[in-house]
Structure 1
Amino acid sequence: MRCRAARRLYKALGRRGVFLLILGVGKTCWGVSFLVDPPPDNGLELLTQFCGLRHWAWLWITAGLITGFSAFLQIGRDKLGFRAALTPPAVWAIAYAYAVLTGEYSRGGFVAIWYLTSHIGVICWAATVPEYSVPPAPRPRRGKAP
């Protein structure tokens, strides 16, 4: 029964929708973790000068919810989900890069590159992947031999 429901959900969402749903859940959970037990703000001083990490958690949560809900939209209308998914890692990458340039957090360059590649790069790549990259095989016609 579970497999049937999972197959039905996968068929309804498609490849892009499944990716958006996974991203949405992950970003929402990451934001909630900042609310429950905020980590030290090493390298994020650019952000914390405006407000605390608990407030910045809502950026992750909001982006995650928008991304997750966009999974259920039609292809072509899911662009908002991909844009929302890009926002938090872009903000964090900028903050870490700024921390390196100001000398506040030397490790921030590696973290910024990590956000740029494993988050932003993957999201940008997934946004360009068509839903069905291989056309379905032609169906044989009845009564006619090839």
Structure 2
Amino acid sequence: MTMPRVLRRAASRLGRRGAFLSCYGSIWVLYGAGQLGMPQPDQRGLQPLLALVPLGVWAWCWITAGTIALATAWADTGEDWPGFVALSAIVLPWTVSYLGAWAIGEYSRGWIAAAVWAVAGTSVLVVAGWPEPPRRKEIGARP
């Protein structure tokens, strides 16, 4: 089996939902690792969260969510739901924290960060509702 054939076969097995989970899962893992290794310098928008839990714990939550998404990317439609839940769940506190910091006047750019995270979370929910298109062999198969 040649390498392009192997890649095509893996991509067809992964599917579009799995590819999305893989991409976003990777981003979430990298974001968490970045928060561990080199935290963002301006954390005013995260102060409501950091008052509850240290940034290192939140970083591991991001890494865990991304890892769950990566692990479920290969699951069949309907069995991949933990990945979508994990990706969405970690974004919610970030969105609320930035929005809250903006609302009380602590972080003037908080509404922008909240909007970015809300859009990221919404795209996860949209893709979670998509059915996986049938594979080529399934299209021509007879019942």
| Interval containing the TM-score (normalised by the shorter chain) | 0.7 to 0.9
Counterpart selection for 2:59 from 51, 57, 60: 57
Q: Which runs of 5+ in 1 are unaligned?
A: 140-146
TM-score normalised by length of structure 2:
0.88
1:129 partner letter: W
Greater share of helix: 2
**What is the deviation of 1:11?**
1.3
Other-structure match for 1:6:
7
Q: Tell whether the 8 Å contact from 2:12 to 2:135 is kept in structure 1 after alignment.
A: no
Larger-Rg structure? 1
Other-structure match for 2:46:
44
In the TM superposition, what are the counterparts of 1:1-146 in structure 2 within 5 Å?
Answer: 1-40=2-41, 41-117=43-119, 119-132=120-133
Q: Tell whether the 8 Å contact from 1:38 to 1:54 is kept in structure 2 after alignment.
A: no
Q: Which runs of 5+ in 2 are unaligned?
A: none
Matches of 1:126 and 1:64 in 2, distance apart?
16
1:52 partner letter: P
Measured on the aligned residues, the alpha-carbon RMSD in Å equals: 1.9
Runs of 4+ displaced beyond 6 Å: 133-136
Identity %: 34
2:123 partner letter: V
* Corresponding residue pairs, total: 138
Q: Is the alpha carbon distance of 1:75 and 1:98 closer, same or farther for their aligned partners in structure 2, counting shifts above 3 Å?
A: same
